[in-house]
Amino acid sequence: MESNRVTANSLFNNKSGVPFEFNRVAKKYDVATFLSQGYQKDLQRSVDRLNLRGDEFVLDLCCGTGKSTISCLNNLPDGKVIGIDNSEVMLRVAEEKYYKQYDRNKLEFVQKDVMELDYDDNSVDAIFMAYGIRNMPDYNRALKNLFRILKPGGKIAFHEYSLEKNFLSHLYWKTLGYFVVIPVSTMISGSSTIFKYLVKSVDKFLSPNDFTNLLSETGFTNVKKHNMPTWRKPILRTFTASKPNEND
């Protein structure tokens, strides 16, 4: 039964409720993403754009059920990735899938609020964040904290929907969202609230140029945007950047 208290608009205005709505759909979420053609390949493509050496300590933020975490792990033969999310049930699904296959020295899942990450300054080699930055209540504060914990020379990649500032881009997304994403995902999960919110959050998120500008203003360098192929090209991007070395 759909919640009478939580709506897409109320989630957008108070994003603290987003993890709880993800809890409601967590056990069916992988089925919904499986039906999204190219979902896993696109995640891997974004991780590949980090150009990891393979021995880094990586944080995968807003990891959900761990699909992005495994994409990171694929490029870390001698490193470690920690998947972080604030949805308890999404993490439980991830743990059930992957803890039997991988050692905790290679892969770990931790429940934390990404807005309140408490890692030490300059302690993380690389950060990956898929479909997460637009769910942060304060983009500026979130990015400043990620910049703080990243090592000098460290890399960051955002795998995110971001629409150009034109009518056709937003019409394309709304057509996909309201006629495909919401009805199909609702049928699979039994709840429409979080998917209505996600469609709205993409429509209201920063444009590619605005987001790259924000990354630069935060202090990141080598800021680049990369489009995805096929039908996602007008809507889905990888944003990559680095933290300057101390002698730069």
Going residue by residue through the chain (248 aa), what tens digit of pLDDT does each one get?
344 468 999 999 999 999 999 999 999 999 999 888 899 999 999 999 999 999 999 999 999 999 999 999 999 999 999 999 999 999 999 999 999 999 999 999 999 999 999 999 999 999 999 999 999 999 999 999 999 999 999 999 999 999 999 999 999 999 999 999 999 999 999 999 999 999 999 999 999 999 999 999 999 999 999 999 999 999 999 999 999 998 76
φ/ψ of 158, rounded to 5, equals -115, 125
Q: Each residue of 123-175: pLDDT tens digit? A: 999 999 999 999 999 999 999 999 999 999 999 999 999 999 999 999 999 99
pTM, full prediction: 0.95
Determine the Cα–Cα distance for residues 131 and 113; give it in Å rounded to an integer: 15
φ/ψ of 156, rounded to 5, equals -140, 145
Fold classification of 8-242 is Rossmann fold (3.40.50)
Please identify which residue in the block is written with the tokens 């996909």: 176
**Domain range list for the chain:** 8-242
Q: How far is CA 219 from each of CA 13, 62, 127, 149, 210, rounded to the nearest angstrom?
A: 28, 22, 15, 13, 15
